Amino acid sequence: GGQGCTAYDVVVNSEFFRTLQTDPLYREFFLTVAMEGLAEKYGLELELTGWRVLRNRRFLGSISAQNIRTRPRPRIQELEG
């Protein structure tokens, strides 16, 4: 077998994911930014080149629906101008 590794889940909006699928340059930019963010947040040293996206397997194990919390916005906002 291969070597063990640690996996991190990155959840994105379905519409945004479709954009990533159709634009390879944008996908590469997003993945680089995501990996840099993980490296900074968890104090990791990640190799930012040589990665690959699994073609027929977008996830391993079981996947479940995720609820993304948003910050509540005030119902009344004061606008400048």
Domain that holds residue 1: 1-52
Count of the separate structural domains present in the chain:
1
How many CA atoms lie within 13 Å of 3's alpha carbon, on the beta-carbon side? 2
What per-residue confidence (pLDDT) applies to 57?
67
H-state helical runs in the chain: 14-22, 24-42
Asked if the structure places residue 17 within a domain, the reply is yes
> In the chain, which residues have pLDDT < 70?
57-60, 81
Q: Residue 38 carries which DSSP code?
A: H
CB neighbour burial string for 23-46, b if at least 16 within 10 angstroms, e if fewer = eeeeeeebeeeebeeeeeeeeeee
Asked if the structure places residue 33 within a domain, the reply is yes
Asked if the structure places residue 42 within a domain, the reply is yes
What per-residue confidence (pLDDT) applies to 65?
75
Asked if the structure places residue 61 within a domain, the reply is no
Asked if the structure places residue 81 within a domain, the reply is no
Asked if the structure places residue 65 within a domain, the reply is no
- Please tell me the pTM assigned to this model: 0.62
What per-residue confidence (pLDDT) applies to 30?
92
Asked if the structure places residue 74 within a domain, the reply is no
Asked if the structure places residue 76 within a domain, the reply is no
